[in-house]
Amino acid sequence: MKKIALLVLLLSYTFSVAQENYKYVIVPQKFSFFKEDNKYNTNYLTKTFFEKEGFKVFYDTDELPKEIGSNRCLALFVDAVERNSMFMTKIKIEVKDCSNKVIYTSEQGSSREKEYAKAYNTAFRSALTSLKGKVKFKVTPQLQPKTEVELSKPVTAEIKTSDAVVKSAEQTALFAIPNQNGYKIVDDVPNVVYELLATSMENVYSAKKGVISGTFLKKNGEWFFEYYENDQLVAEKVNVKF
């Protein structure tokens, strides 16, 4: 259950990080309530506002960067909503994410100007100004699954011994003598008890004890020699000083 809860938490965190990975803003060349592109200069006004907020801004008719093509969630998408009354021009700006969810809505910009160009210009400026500083320019790293081990960095492995038969080896302390490829584990005679070959993981070795091959590893501060005996995993606890 703990592992399931941890996985759900990790996926939730990954999703929330992805949602804040905004780098671009896409502005329509024409708002739906107009019949012409950039009517009354409103689209250019919107594009300029978000550029001043630090974003790379494109019209939806532009050729977009390949980065957006491979990951639309790097971009925010802007739209305007018109709610005019008989004597007033009213505009709200909506900012949506890649799933078309509205994540920011401006305050209502309005104007009583009778001349349309002035009225829309004033209403757009007012609505956009209310978003100033609220739409953050955020580029946070997304969590990516690792597909290979970086051999230049030690990796600490989490080893399970709960399903193994745990045995204790010789109670007398053994000693690790380093060699070119790993260690020889010897007693005080000294007889070689284990031969260890280094792996790419920290505190994990390929090991031999006589004719038995297995893995020599450290877990919770203790060393174990693990091997299979009659299809049963055996974890032999070893008292060794490195």
pLDDT digits (tens, 9 = 90+) for 10-46: 444 333 333 456 789 999 999 999 999 999 999 999 9
Element of type H or E holding 26: strand 24-27
Q: What is the pLDDT of residue 155?
A: 40
| Average pLDDT in the chain | 80
DSSP state of 230: T
In the chain, what percentage of residues exceed pLDDT 90?
A: 45
| Domains of the chain with CATH codes | 20-129 (3.40.50.10070), 155-241 (no CATH)
Q: Which residues contact 7 (CB under 8 A, 6 or more apart)?
A: none
Locus of tokens 């910009």: 109
Element of type H or E holding 195: strand 192-198
Q: What is the pLDDT of residue 12?
A: 40
β-pair partners for 196: 183, 207
Higher pLDDT, 165 or 196: 196
Phi, psi of 53 (to 5 degrees): -80, 0
Nearest to 73 by CA among 140, 146, 131: 140
Number of Cβ within 10 Å of residue 73's Cβ equals 16
Higher pLDDT, 74 or 188: 74
DSSP state of 145: -
Higher pLDDT, 7 or 83: 83
Using DSSP bridges, classify how beta strands 155-156 and 201-202 pair: parallel, antiparallel or unpaired.
Answer: parallel
User: Is 55 in contact with 48 (CB distance < 8 Å)?
Assistant: no
pLDDT tens-digit series, residues 190-237: 788 999 999 888 899 999 999 899 999 998 889 999 988 888 888 899
Q: Could you tell me the pLDDT band of residue 48, with boundaries at 50, 70 and 90?
A: very high
Q: What is the pLDDT of residue 170?
A: 58
